[in-house]
Amino acid sequence: MKKPAPKKAFRLTPQREAILRFLEGNTSHPSAEDIYARLRRKFPGMSFATVYNTLQSLLGRGDLIEVRIDRGRARFDPGLKPHHHLLCVRCGAITDLPERAPVRPAGLPRGYRLLSSNIEFYGICPACGKKEGRREELSCAKKRKK
């Protein structure tokens, strides 16, 4: 009998370990650039390619999810439980929304086997909403002065 192919070895260099540790339990949905900027302080020799390649192999192993809600850049999520995402269109913060029950969309064709879903919600977070409220107040005050 043929032995099953071993899962491709994941060599744990100190840099890769730092990336793993940074991602563990991280709910901020960092981009590759965010991770690189954060870890470069501690590992000045770390290259962006190391970050990128580590993320790719984690994706390949199914240990990480790529979130596509932010149009400009891929964001990464170690949270593997099914959940939805909420994006602040002002600051780009992504918030996890738990999936209470598997979604059954209306209009699902008969006999279609649904495997998973990830609903994207867009809005303005409370912090950005407050800032915009303040800006409006300021511009109203200026107009009043005239």
What is the C-alpha separation between 69 and 48, in angstroms, rounded?
22
70 makes contact with Mn ion (CB under 5 A):
no
Q: Which of 32, 39, 58, 125 binds Zn ion (CB under 5 A)?
A: 125
> What is the number of other CB atoms lying within 10 angstroms of the CB of residue 36?
19
Instruction: Name which of 96 and 120 has its Cβ closer to Mn ion.
Output: 96
Identify the three-state secondary structure at position 13. Answer: coil
SS (H, E, C) 67-121: ECCCCCCCEEECCCCCEEEEEECCCCCEEEEECCCCCCCCCCCCCCCCCCCCCEE
Nearest position to Mn ion, beta carbon: 77
Q: Does 90 bind Zn ion (CB under 5 A)?
A: yes
Q: Find out whether 16 and 59 touch, Cβ atoms under 8 Å.
A: no
Distance CA 52, CA 18 (A): 13
Q: Which stretch binds Zn ion (CB under 5 A): 21-29, 70-78, 85-93, 137-145?
A: 85-93
For residue 96, state whether it binds Mn ion (rule: CB under 5 A): yes
92 is an interface residue for Mn ion by CB under 5 A:
no
Q: The tokens of 123 are what?
A: 């809005």
Q: Which is nearer to Mn ion, 15 or 96 (CB)?
A: 96
* Contact residue for Zn ion among 10, 22, 128, 131 (CB under 5 A): 128
Stretch that binds Mn ion, among 51-59, 95-103, 117-125, 130-138 (CB under 5 A): 95-103
Identify the sign of the CA torsion 57, 81, 83, 96. Answer: negative
Among 30, 35, 77, 88, binds Mn ion (CB under 5 A): 77
Provide the binding-site residues for Mn ion, judged by CB under 5 A.
Answer: 77, 79, 96
Provide the binding-site residues for Zn ion, judged by CB under 5 A.
Answer: 88, 90-91, 125, 128
